[in-house]
Amino acid sequence: MKFPRVFYTDRSSANTGAKAVLERHATRVLRRVAHDLRLAAHSYQIVNDSRRGNTSVRVSLRTETLFVDVVEPRCGSGVALSFRTRRGREDLTGGGENHVSLQQLETKGGYRAMLEGLRLAGGIDLKCGGRR
């Protein structure tokens, strides 16, 4: 997977326009992850978690059993991709975050390994995109 350049830039002095660009690219990347996991359209949602006054960005792909987040750390140097499990739709915190290096995901094998890990962690069936 090729990530947009905005994922790597120092955003410590970014304005709201730059934040919107990052959110748009993060949403696009998470849609691709959902497509590559073969998730049915009704089985996931992509949520922008932008709170008032909070300058950091968090865009989440949410399924019944899994969160996949594109997060901008507070220090403002690039973004991180992480995933964690959850117990049903009411669990909004999930387990501990597992961060994945963007450099690793840019390789074919690294991206494929992350998808396999997400399928395993989320109990996602490869054939139908649903739960096992």
Rounded to whole angstroms, how far apart are CA atoms 4 and 25? Answer: 7
Fill in the DSSP letter of residue 4.
P
pLDDT recorded at residue 80: 83
C-alpha triplet 84, 11, 101: angle, nearest 5°: 35
User: What residues pair up with 85 in beta bridges, in sequence order?
Assistant: 66
What amino acid occupies position 39? L
Mean pLDDT across 42-64:
81
pLDDT recorded at residue 85: 87
Q: What is the pLDDT of residues 73-130, one digit of tens each?
A: 666 567 888 898 888 777 777 777 888 888 888 888 999 999 998 998 888 876 554 5
66: its two tokens: 């899994």
Rounded to whole angstroms, how far apart are CA atoms 42 and 6? Answer: 29
pLDDT recorded at residue 132: 46
